Amino acid sequence: MNPLERVRIGRTDVRVTRLGLGLAPIGGLYSAVGDAQAFATLAAGWELGIRYFDVAPLYGNGLAEQRAGTVLSAKPRNEFALSTKVGRLLRPGGSDTQAIWSEPTSVTPVFDFSAAGIRTSYEESLSRLRLDRADIVHLHDPDDHFPAAVSESLPALAELRAAGRIGAVSAGMNQTRMLAELVRTGELDSVLVAGRYTLLDQSAEDELLPLCEKRGVSVIAGGVFNSGLLADPRPGATFDYSPAAATMLELALVCEAICTRHGVPLRAAAIQFPLRHPAVTCVLVGVRSPAEVADAVEMAARPIPSRLWRDLRAEGLIR
């Protein structure tokens, strides 16, 4: 895989690199990062040729967007693609508190999928990012807000797209059923599916991926390490943001053993696996340091013999 190849999102003019950087970690996910390390991480991605970056207001309660904006606002705007998310507003005393963010802020998220909330969220993100537009805007976690997402959020995003304020309309979730329902509205150019098309969980292949391929909707695969287990399978590793069950750890260790037999790091197989499906346009890897950026680029470019995929299939690990 060439991680720096530029590919089109749906039928839009937005182009992303095959490997994109997920910026939740530079918002202080699980442990503090600080401005200097966040800036260095973004700079490393740029120097290595990555040109797709994904953020959200949720990530560090605004910190990830602010830090990304400090670096990216100084870059030529037409040379990179950026996605952010809507559906949460950052307010003092917001109800959507999450203990996973380690750096304190004065605001926390509150869900708002109204048309006005979507427009406000977008403008506030642009202010934090110091940019005049985002290329892709994802509806973020509308799990408990589906009616409003369809009747208010999507029309608001479609209006922004028609006005040239954004390039592509998308939705990002950790589940596949509702993403498929959103694809069927005909409004989406892409979906960001997190953790549901990996070496350990291929549930996106049941319905979502075939539907997106048929409709010409690009799939952005996130959470390819399932929040950590596929990066370093060991006791205490996380799977979907919680300590991994023994059965999942065992499966990850089997994957690792097969990869080792072929001289391939498990991380390389985890990053490249989703791109074997024709519906998947690019893969997002979360990074928090220049070393992690360099590793992601190296793993994405590592040659993988076809026999490795055959062995994973023979063990029933992939379809």
- pLDDT tens per residue across span 112-143: 999 999 999 999 999 999 999 999 999 999 99
Q: What are phi and psi of 265, to 5 degrees?
A: -65, 140
Q: What is the pLDDT of residue 96?
A: 87
Domain-by-domain residue ranges, the chain? 6-314
Spell out a b/e string for 222-255, using b for 16 or more CB atoms within 10 Å of the CB, else e: bbbbbbbbbbebeeebbbbeeebeeebbebbebb
**Contacts for 150 with CB less than 8 Å, ≥ 6 apart:** 182, 185
For the chain, the average pLDDT equals 97
Q: Nearest CA to 195 among 110, 283, 269, 116?
A: 283
The whole-angstrom distance between residue 216's C-alpha and the CA centroid of its chain comes to 19
Measured CA to CA, the distance from residue 57 to residue 208 in angstroms comes to 26
- Alpha-carbon gap, residue 195 to 245, rounded angstroms: 16
Please state, for a pLDDT cut of 70, what percent of the chain lies above it. Answer: 100
Opening angle at CA 41, ends 37 and 47, nearest 5: 140
Could you give the residue numbers annotated as active site? 59
- List the beta strands (DSSP E) in the chain: 6-8, 15-17, 19-22, 52-54, 81-86, 88-91, 108-111, 134-140, 166-173, 190-194, 218-222, 238-239, 242-243, 280-286
Regions of the chain short of the pLDDT cut 70: none
Which CATH superfamily does the domain covering 6-314 fall into? NADP-dependent oxidoreductase domain (3.20.20.100)
**Would you call 319 helix, strand, or coil by DSSP?**
coil
* pTM given for the model: 0.97
Quick: pLDDT tens for 35-90: 999 999 999 999 999 999 999 999 999 999 999 999 999 999 999 999 999 999 99
What pLDDT score does 114 carry? 98
pLDDT at residue 134, as a whole number: 98
